[in-house]
Amino acid sequence: MKSTVILVTGASQGIGAAIAKVFAKQLGKGARLVLMARNLAKLAAVARACERSGAKTEVFMCDVADEDMVASMTAEVLKRFGRVDVLINNAGVFEAAPFTETTVADFDRIVAANLRSAFLVTRALVPAMVARKHGDVFFMSSIAGLGAYPNSAAYCAAKFGVTGLAAVLRAETREHGVRVCCVHPGATWSPSWSGSGVAEERIMPAADVARAFWDVYRLGRNTVVEEIVLRPQRGDL
């Protein structure tokens, strides 16, 4: 696993930052990390943490729901690194609202951030994986991509879409050496939970979810974990 190129979207905080750190820790100098998000200052802080583990890290400020920005950034990544071995589609947002109070603009924005972004980045990078007959693609779905949650129409629609997108890509690339895994976490601690009133000990730590990505990735090439569901031990979030 020398010089493995790992691209993580939504890497500036929460699970995305934790994923970057765990791959950096496990691969050390063998990791070349490409971190994308909209907040450059937070990305830089994550990059510094990864570099302390020996990983070479570059950051790209990018709205991965924007087609032109994705095309530009992925072209630059391929120019600098030559390839992407592991793509982790983590970018996304969550906002709660009753179905009848969800505006069209909010619906479109949430679907774009969670689903359109994964489609755009994957479409840009997977052809090269297929050509090399080697690659790993992770999609960050949610338990909201498996079952309905009240006050989450846009988010559930987006995450159900992510689950379906992953299944289609897996069916189309399984014969070409590309492994596709869809991850469905339950409540995971992130800045968005601050002020929620929910005790942190009831929620999974982001580091545990990130570790699951690494454990799936490190399996032999003849094995693929197609989907994985992670929930807080109490199972109520």
Domain membership flag for residue 38: yes
Element (H, E) at 7: strand 4-9
Label residue 1 by pLDDT band (50, 70, 90): very low
pLDDT at residue number 80: 93
Residue 199 confidence (pLDDT) above 90: no
Q: Would 207 be classed as within a structural domain?
A: yes
Under DSSP, is residue 194 helix (H, G, I), strand (E, B) or coil?
coil
What's the pLDDT score for residue 237? 66
Looking at 89-98, 188-197, 227-236, which range is the least confident one? Answer: 188-197
Q: Are 65 and 120 in contact (CB under 8 A)?
A: yes
CATH of the domain at 93: 3.40.50.720
Mean pLDDT score, 112-126: 98
pLDDT attached to residue 2: 60
Domains of the chain: total: 1
Rounded Cα–Cα distance for residues 215 and 177 (Å)? 19
Confidence grade of residue 122 (pLDDT, cut at 50, 70, 90): very high
Q: How much is the mean pLDDT over the chain?
A: 94
237 is a domain residue: no
Q: Within a domain: residue 212?
A: yes
Tens digit of each residue's pLDDT (9 = 90 or more) over 8-35: 999 999 999 999 999 999 999 999 999 9
Q: Is residue 121 part of a domain?
A: yes
Please tell me the predicted confidence (pLDDT) of residue 190: 77
The fraction of the chain above a pLDDT of 90, given in percent, is 89
What's the pTM value of the predicted model, to 2 decimals? 0.95
Residue 44 DSSP class: H
Residue 197 inside a domain? The answer is: yes
Residue 26, domain member (yes or no): yes
Instruction: Report if residue 31 sits inside a domain.
Output: yes
Enclosing domain of residue 110 = 4-230
Nearest Cα to Cα of residue 3 among 24, 32, 34, 23: 32
Of 67, 62, 174, 74, give the one whose Cα is nearest residue 124: 74
